[in-house]
Structure 1
Amino acid sequence: MPVRPILNFPDPRLRLPAVPVTRFDADLRALAEDLLDTMRAAPGIGITAPHVGVSMRLVVLELTPGEVRIYANPVLDQVSRETIRHSEGSVSMPGVTDELERHARIRLRYVDLDGREQREDADGLLAVCHQHEIDQLNGVFWIDRLSRLKRDRLIARYNKLQRG
């Protein structure tokens, strides 16, 4: 499947909420395959359809090579009070990362590629990735969760990297 171009920060399409997946067909499967190939080429461990300019609530994760997870219309059903800090970044903002605080454990509801509703409990890095990607589907870019000072510094660092 083709590697698609990734939208780069500050593309305004990264701030738009994605629309729910309503058709579970060959086109959706092809998009999921394209997202996987695009994520691997970036490289990254998670990607959403909005990262490639498709306003659709579709997420592909591969935290461990060969263990691909695909989620349509993911929603957080429960979150823990306990939090963890983890380094985050984005395929749309390569070369920069920062630590964010997220819920340590979550319960996720989603639809698989066959249109069946599923549930999943996650903790650690998987829980962080779900929260990060669901934010993206909601039009919340990961740096929005940083303090203004940290965000401004990170954007300056990113812009310097882009200038080469």
Structure 2
Amino acid sequence: MAIRIIVKHPDPVLREKAKPVPQVTPNIQKLLTDMADTMYDAPGVGLAAPQIGISKRVIVVDIGDEHGLIELVNPEIVEADGEQIGPEGCLSIPGLQGDVRRKNRVKVKGLDRNGNEIVVDGEGYLARALQHEIDHLDGILYVDIADRVYEPKEEEEEGA
């Protein structure tokens, strides 16, 4: 178990387009494990590698539902439809929250920790979390696309 330091805005790594991972190696598997440990420790519901200072296309998401921990290398959205608007926070932007418009359903393709192709269908909150983390891989922060950014009430705070 290794807890990594979460990079805070305005660190430039958060604005870079992350590099694709050519193949899943033991180092990438360790990165996935460290990212999950860091996300749970924070606590948050998602984490992208740039948030721990590593410009690679790797994310982890766990919204606490039946999907459990989702680990994706080189994730890409291959289908998206519907619309939702809701609050988002970010472990890299503590103390703020924003109302963000997202697709309500997404299908995301990527590689699992063993290098096998997987597809994750997400709807509602899971779709929101996946889109938020994939945005990180393109240097996009939720504050860039939020309809409104504000300081949340303590009971509403969530990190992604």
State TM-score, norm by structure 2: 0.88
Which structure 1 residue ranges, 4+ long, deviate > 3 Å from structure 2? none
* Structure 1: runs of 5 or more not aligned: 159-164
2:52 corresponds in structure 1 to 52
CA distance in 2 between partners of 1:39 and 1:124 (Å)? 20
Q: Which SS does the other structure have where 2:33 is aligned?
A: helix
Deviation at 1:88, TM superposition (A): 0.5
Aligned residue type for 1:74: P
Aligned residue type for 2:13: R
Aligned residue type for 1:10: P
Deviation at 1:95, TM superposition (A): 2.3
Report 1:141-152 matches (<5 A): 141-147=141-147, 150-151=148-149
Aligned residue type for 1:4: R
Deviation at 1:65, TM superposition (A): 7.3
Aligned residue type for 2:75: P
Q: Which SS does the other structure have where 2:118 is aligned?
A: strand
2:77 corresponds in structure 1 to 76
Q: Which has the higher helix share?
A: 1
Deviation at 1:134, TM superposition (A): 0.7
1:36 corresponds in structure 2 to 36
CA distance in 1 between partners of 2:87 and 2:120 (Å)? 23
Residue deviations 1:6-64 (CA, integer Å, cap 9, x gap): 11011111000101111312111111111111111211000011000001111011111
Identical positions, percent: 33
Aligned residue type for 2:58: L
Counterpart check, 1:15 vs 2:15: yes
* Structure 2: runs of 5 or more not aligned: 153-160
Aligned residues: CA RMSD: 1.7
How many residues are paired up?
151
CA distance in 1 between partners of 2:65 and 2:51 (Å)? 21
